[in-house]
Every structure is written in C-alpha cells, then in structure tokens.
Structure 1
Amino acid sequence: MTGLEIAANAFATASILCAARNSVHTWWTGIIGCSLFGLLFWHTQLYADVLLQVFFVVASLFGWWNWHASASHSALPIQRTPLRSFMLMGAGALLAGAGYGLVLHRFTDAYAPFADSSVLCLSVLAQLLLMRRRIETWPVWVLVNTIAVPLYASRGLTLTSVLYAAYWINAWLAWRHWRKLWRTQGAQA
C-alpha cells in the first residue's frame, strides 16, 4: 500500500459517497481521485483502467455542469432509462470490453486485459448514466465492483480491493436510496 493508493482511495470514496447521497460534490472529489488513480493504475499495468480514469476526469467536468443546470435551469431530476435502451447500452459496453480486451491482449503487456477492459467499458456506461442522474447507474456499478474487487486484489492493491468491496455495498444502498428519491420526486410532480 502506497501513499498514492491511500490518497486515490480517499478522494474516490468521498466522491462515491457523495454520488450515493445525490450530492454535486461527487464531481470535484472524483476529479482528484481519478487523477490519482490514473497514476496508480499506470504503475500496476492496468492500462484500460488508466484510460478509464482519463474518461472519468472529463466526464466529471460534464457531470458537474449537467447536475447544476438542466434546460429549465433547475437541478437535473433523477430519471429511469427505458429498458430497451438500457439493454442496448449494456450489450454495447460488453462488446466494447471484449474488443478492447483483445487489443490489450495482443499488443500490450496488460495484466488481465479482458477483466480490465470490462471494468473500463461498464464503468463508462455507469458514469454516463450517473451524469444524467439515471437510476440504472447503480446496478451497473454493482457489476463493475463485482469484477474490480478480485482484479485489484490480484495486483496487490489490497486497500483498493477492500474499498471496492465497500463500494459494492454502497452501490446497492445507493440504488435503493435513488429509487426512493425518484418516487418522492414523482409524487411531488
């Protein structure tokens, strides 16, 4: 465990807890945590995760803006994604993960390229859903964390794998919390 791993996890945990509580502070804490994780994953040869952290930083900037103002200049409401759209997005993420995993397998010394690429592509999907305040972000995060925990543990990132196990629990709790907020929001409309 290094200072870099500790700092990355501290900021990522703050960001994830803020997201679960539907707080806009998820974005700036995420930018810092993802920048630190990018460096950490580079050193552990998890190259798809490095690319993912770059995506997260850019997406966090857009998410921050998106959560502040929608077309009506009010906070973006929590919404549901139509099932057909969600299934198509999920299939696209899995196919992209398999394709990128193949590229990493053939052309780099990446460790566990298919698991790493699955974490990348499913995380992109989850992040896009989070940026639009879609409830379906949380079951995708459950899946991401299910893959990430053993992947990070296998690279000796003990703190990261333990925290991702906690994020797995957090995703379940956040999913329940966001559904309650969505129902309350619908009742008030």
Structure 2
Amino acid sequence: MIEWILAEWMQILGFATGAACVVLAARRNVWTYPIGIANNVVFLAVFVPAGLYASAALQLVYLVLGVHGWIRWTRGVEHDRGYVARTPRRAVPWLIAVAIVGTAVLTWVLATFTDSQVAVADAATTSASLVAQYMLNRKWIENWGVWIAVDVAFVGLSIATGLWIIAALYALFVVLCIGGWRGWTRVMRESPAAVPADARV
C-alpha cells in the first residue's frame, strides 16, 4: 500500500485538491480558487507524461482564470455568497463559438505538433472546460451542466490513457457537480439574482 501511495502520490494529491476545489465551489466559497490553482500545478505534472498535452496546457490557462475568478468572487458582484445568476442569453452563442473554435484549433495543434493519440477528445474537453470555468467565475448556474458533460468525457479519456485515479476523481466530480447544481438552484430560489446585463469579463 505504501509503495502504491509513493508511486501515485501526484495523482492522489490531484484527487484531494480537485475534490476540495469542487466542494468549495458548490458552497460558493472563494477558497475554491487558491486550492484550484494548487490543483492546476499538480495536474500539469500528471498530464504531460501521459501525453494529454492540451489538458496540461489547460492547467496554465486555469491559473489565469483562477486569478480572474478570485478577483470576481472578492471584488465583483459575485462576492455575495447569496448571488447566483442564469447565463445571459446573448452570452450563449459566444460560449458555444469559443468551445467549437477552441476545439478546432487545439485539435490541429495537437495533431500537427504532438504525438497525442486522443487529439480531438483532449481538445474538446479542454475547450469546454475553459467555457465552464468562465461561467463558474461569473456564478452562472448552467456552469454545472457543462462541467458534468466535461467530467463524464474526462472519465473515459483518463481510462483510455491509464490514469485510473484521475478517472475516479472525475467520476466523483460528476457527483459533486450534481450536488453543486442542486445547491445553487436552492440559493437561486431563496434569493433570485438578476441576470447580468452583459457577458463581458
């Protein structure tokens, strides 16, 4: 058991910090961001050797989005723990466009410059994750639906690349995201938030 822990400690640490990050997000606790940034660093070290280059690069982008979310949740309208909003309708086409274009560009990059065997899946989950993280930063409740879809895809992707602990983590994420969605829905019912006037950063 000890040998296994020593061999897989990076995945285990990623599991722990990742789970804590989602639980805190579900509770609308701003500590989700510093712990999330620590999780990014761990996953970066796990994904590169596994050949998940887009997912590894995603961790770097998450660092930037983590700072953005940290600022929004401490200085923006999102700092109110009782604030939860629906995604503005005019933001939806842009979010979809970002996901599609991001997937196309990353697929080309991975297929052209790396030896990735899962370029399309890696690119798609990466792009969708960025969209979901931005939505979470803005406390748009539909972020949970996007996260659930991404996490289900990551379970299959992690199994395909032999990262069984990470696969188990993403399976747990699905359960936690469902709980987060239900919790945010209750908050919205108790204290409805106005839909943001625009979708700008």
Query: Would you call these one fold, judging by a TM-score over 0.5?
Result: yes
Given the alignment, which residue of 157, 163, 169 partners 1:163?
169
CA contact (8 A) 1:69 1:75 kept: no
Partner secondary structure for residue 123 of structure 1: helix
Number of paired residues?
A: 186
Partner secondary structure for residue 110 of structure 1: coil
What is the aligned partner in structure 2 of residue 120 from structure 1?
Answer: 126
What is the aligned partner in structure 1 of residue 13 from structure 2?
Answer: 7
| CA-based RMSD | 1.8
Percent identity of paired positions between Structure 1 and Structure 2: 31
Aligned equivalents of 2:140 and 2:94: distance in 1? 15
Given the alignment, which residue of 164, 188, 191 partners 1:185?
191
Aligned equivalents of 2:92 and 2:183: distance in 1? 20
Aligned equivalents of 1:6 and 1:92: distance in 2? 32
**1:60 matched to 2:66:** yes
Letter of the structure 2 residue corresponding to residue 80 of structure 1: R
**1:75 matched to 2:112:** no
Aligned equivalents of 2:183 and 2:52: distance in 1? 32
Aligned equivalents of 1:104 and 1:184: distance in 2? 45
Residue 95 of structure 1: how far off its partner (Å)? 3.0
Give 1:1-189 correspondences, 5 Å limit: 2-70=8-76, 75=80, 77-186=83-192
**TM-score normalised according to structure 2 size:** 0.86
Partner secondary structure for residue 102 of structure 1: helix
Residue 86 of structure 1: how far off its partner (Å)? 1.7
Q: Bigger shift: 1-10 or 73-82?
A: 73-82
Residue 108 of structure 1: how far off its partner (Å)? 1.0
Aligned equivalents of 1:108 and 1:51: distance in 2? 13
Residue 163 of structure 1: how far off its partner (Å)? 1.3
Letter of the structure 1 residue corresponding to residue 135 of structure 2: L
Letter of the structure 2 residue corresponding to residue 4 of structure 1: M
Query: Deviating runs (4+, > 4 A) in structure 1?
Result: none
Partner secondary structure for residue 186 of structure 1: coil
CA contact (8 A) 1:37 1:50 kept: yes
Q: Unaligned regions of 5+ residues in structure 1, if any? A: none
CA contact (8 A) 1:37 1:53 kept: yes
Aligned equivalents of 1:9 and 1:33: distance in 2? 8
